[in-house]
């Protein structure tokens, strides 16, 4: 239904192939970009809306040359009259203006229900699905049962990444589909831990010291990991190590 100028006069099949290629590259790229940015300390200090918007903006910028390359490979009209570096630059600028804003807003819209913690399912349907897919009870805290045996149980920290949870132990790390809040509840009484940030939980026995100055304060773990501390949690975290 969308008919950019480059697809003018093309068949339905060509248009379909064009959009399938575009989205099969763009969506994984946005997901990867969001996950990559979460590893940067300043990104973790942003609110979820800014995080999502910045990830969409960055991912769409990275996609611009890829989108132009797809146009070129498929021989679409945008490249027919391009012969000089200035024309390539102008084409790139036009592509950026047409892609970045739309993709950023779309990425925010896709993630808005998750940020707002909305559930659009009817309760009866949701309950039926939950009963149908409910796993067998865990014989130990479920979060521990997800850790591969070779990684042991000596957890250093947990980090939330979108719908996933990165579990880092003294023997390695694993990424599992799990919720940080549920994991912290399950680990109470088993580990002496603290939530330093919306997306982080640490095991206190592995803490070396608190480093940095406001507003960029972090916890340095004995293994060298640097874990961010949110401003509202700093006073509470500091009191545990005085």
- Domain CATH for 185: 2.40.50.1020
- Residue 71 is part of which domain span? 5-116
Is 135 inside any structural domain?
no
The answer on 156 and 97 residing in a single domain is no
Q: What would the mean pLDDT of 54-79 be, rounded to a whole number?
A: 79
Is 93 inside any structural domain?
yes
Which DSSP string do the residues of 174-236 spell out, in sequence order?
Answer: EEEE--HHHHHHHHBTTB-EEEEETTEEEEGGGEEEEE--TTS-EEEETTS-EEE--GGGHHH
Is 134 inside any structural domain?
no
H/E element, 160: strand 155-161
Q: Distance between CA atoms of 94 and 90, rounded to whole angstroms?
A: 6
Whether pLDDT at 87 is above 50 = yes
Angle at 171 between CA 170 and CA 173, to 5 degrees: 90
Say if pTM beats, i.e. exceeds, 0.85: no
As a whole number, the mean pLDDT across the chain is 81
Is 132 inside any structural domain?
no
pLDDT of residue 1: 46
Is 44 inside any structural domain?
yes
Q: In percent, how much of the chain has pLDDT > 70?
A: 81
Whether pLDDT at 128 is above 80 = no
Is 130 inside any structural domain?
no
Is 94 inside any structural domain?
yes
Structural domain count, the chain: 2
pLDDT of residue 218: 92
The answer on 100 and 12 residing in a single domain is yes
The answer on 159 and 74 residing in a single domain is no
pLDDT of residue 21: 83
Is 28 inside any structural domain?
yes
């Amino acid at each position: 239904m969308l008919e950019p100028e480059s697809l003018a006069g093309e068949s339905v099949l060509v248009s379909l192939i064009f959009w399938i290629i575009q989205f099969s590259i763009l969506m994984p790229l946005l997901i990867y970009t969001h996950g990559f940015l979460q590893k940067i300390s300043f990104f973790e200090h942003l609110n979820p809306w800014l995080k999502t918007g910045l990830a969409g903006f960055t991912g769409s910028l990275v996609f611009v040359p890829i989108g132009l390359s797809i146009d070129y490979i498929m021989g679409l009209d945008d490249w027919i009259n391009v012969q000089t570096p200035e024309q390539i630059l102008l084409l790139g600028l036009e592509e950026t203006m047409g892609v970045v804003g739309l993709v950023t807003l779309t990425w925010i819209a896709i993630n808005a229900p998750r940020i707002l913690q909305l559930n659009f399912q009817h309760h009866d349907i949701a309950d039926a699905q939950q009963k149908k897919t409910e796993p067998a009870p865990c014989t130990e805290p479920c979060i521990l049962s997800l850790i591969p045996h070779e990684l042991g149980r000596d957890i250093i920290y947990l980090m939330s990444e979108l719908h996933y949870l990165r579990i880092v132990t003294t023997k390695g790390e694993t990424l599992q589909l799990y919720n940080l809040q549920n994991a912290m509840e399950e680990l109470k009484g088993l580990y002496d831990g603290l939530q330093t940030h919306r997306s982080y939980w640490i095991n206190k026995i592995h803490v070396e010291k608190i480093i940095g100055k406001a507003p960029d304060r972090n916890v340095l773990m004995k293994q060298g990991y640097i874990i961010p501390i949110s401003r509202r949690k700093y006073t509470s975290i500091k009191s545990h190590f005085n």
